[in-house]
Chain A
Amino acid sequence: MRLTKVFGKMKHRVVLPALLCLILTGLLLWMWVFDRRGFEGLPEISRLYTREAINTLQSQNVITPIVLSWRGFDTYGEILILLLATAGVAYGIRTKREESRSQRRGLEATRIAKAGISILQPLILIFGAYIFTHGHLSPGGGFPGGIVLSSGFILWIITDPQNRLRRDLLHLLESVFGTVYMVLCLLGLILAGSFMNLTYLPAGRMGELFSSGAIPLIYTAVGIKVGIQLLQIVENFRD
């Protein structure tokens, strides 16, 4: 009750400082945008990354080795954040009343969705696998690939409310592929001299599927892990 009063009174007092903040933020960003005009060519670090990507890894997509190798800790932290979010969703959305969960029936899907899924689901899964195995050749990689992969299963979930994914299997697969990712990164420490150094597999020729060291393997592990984590988030939101 008291809070309502405070918020009701603050309504006008919120708007003016908010406007002031926005104008200041906009001005700062505007100044910064103009400040970096007249900046030509790549910075030194990007030049180094580009040279290394071409010479030592033969990776057609320059972004991929940056994400997985030289800035690999960012990706690792990102996967950990996704894991924490999954755990937070699973913890936060849990209901105590088990029986109400089974009683709550979702909407039945239409006949079109039910007929279409048998054709669409394999295609979506293959497309997801294509995206993350070609992460070093074309735009894409583990994260978009994993999301496409999970969307195939989400389609299966929404066509019938009785369709449930086995959570123990999801946990197991997620742990296995997370371990595979870490082992592939650690192999760099053992075989190539530094953590997340992906040159321990042959670099091959640029533009071929089996090229750029261990990047296709790592992106496969990352893609499946990300897909399963998103599936867990969606599966938890159904409760």
Chain B
Amino acid sequence: MITIDLVAIALMIIGLWGMMTQKNLIKLVIAFNIFDTGVNLLIVSVGYIKDRMAPVLDSKDLRRQAEELIVDPVPSAMVLTSIVIGVAITALMLVFTVKYYRRTGSLILGEER
């Protein structure tokens, strides 16, 4: 799963780049979301083990020797938490963007009137 790792690292770097260089607040939020996706992808790929199945035991074989056949369930559980937190943070960031726009009439940092 080296491909997924590379995609995740690339997404994280693109997101970090956006967060460090962009001055448009909407672009900052988008960059944060790209970074968030990259982190989630990386955490999921940590739990991946080659040739194994998702931890949903829907057949007899899977139930009998689950420990040898499923991927690591803990990172998936962590990502479930982190996705919802990403949504919450995005909503808050958008609210701050709206407030900034109402106060300054501009979406770009450093160009206040």
Contacts and interface: CB of A to CB of B under 8 A. Distances in A.
Main secondary structure of the interface of B (DSSP, over half): helix
Contact of B77 (A4, A63, A82, A207): A63
Contacts of B12: 25, 29
B56 A139 contact: yes
Nearest to A1: B112
Contacts of A237: 91, 94
Nearest to A74: B81
Contact of B78 (A3, A18, A74): A74
Give the interface size bracket for A toward B: 35 or more
Given A26-B9, A33-B9, A92 B42 contact: no
B67 A50 contact: yes
Interface string B75-103: 01110110111011101101110110000
Query: Which among A46, A141, A207 has the greatest number of chain B C-beta atoms within 10 A?
Result: A46
Interface in A78-127: 78, 81-82, 84-85, 88-89, 92-93
Contacts, number: 132
Given A29-B12, A50-B55, A206-B57, A78 B85 contact: yes
Contacts of A43: 72, 74
A21 B70 contact: no
Contacts of B17: 18, 22
Contact of B70 (A45, A62, A92): A62
A138 B56 contact: yes
Nearest to B68: A41
A233 to B, nearest CB: 5
Contact of B110 (A7, A22, A49, A143): A7
A48 to B, nearest CB: 10
A81 B85 contact: yes
Interface in A225-239: 226, 230, 233, 237
A66 B66 CA distance: 15
Contacts of B91: 85, 89, 233, 237
Interface of A: 3-4, 6-7, 14-15, 18, 21-22, 25-26, 29-30, 33, 36, 40-43, 45-47, 49-51, 54, 60-63, 66-67, 71, 74-75, 78, 81-82, 84-85, 88-89, 92-93, 138-139, 141, 143, 206-207, 226, 230, 233, 237
Closest 8 CB pairs of A and B: A85-B88, A62-B55, A7-B110, A92-B95, A18-B20, A66-B77, A62-B73, A33-B5
Query: Which among B12, B77, B83, B89 has the greatest number of chain A C-beta atoms within 10 A?
Result: B77
A88 B95 contact: yes
Contacts of B68: 41
Given A60-B57, A66-B77, A85-B88, A36 B46 contact: yes
Interface in B18-57: 20-21, 23, 42, 46, 49, 54-57
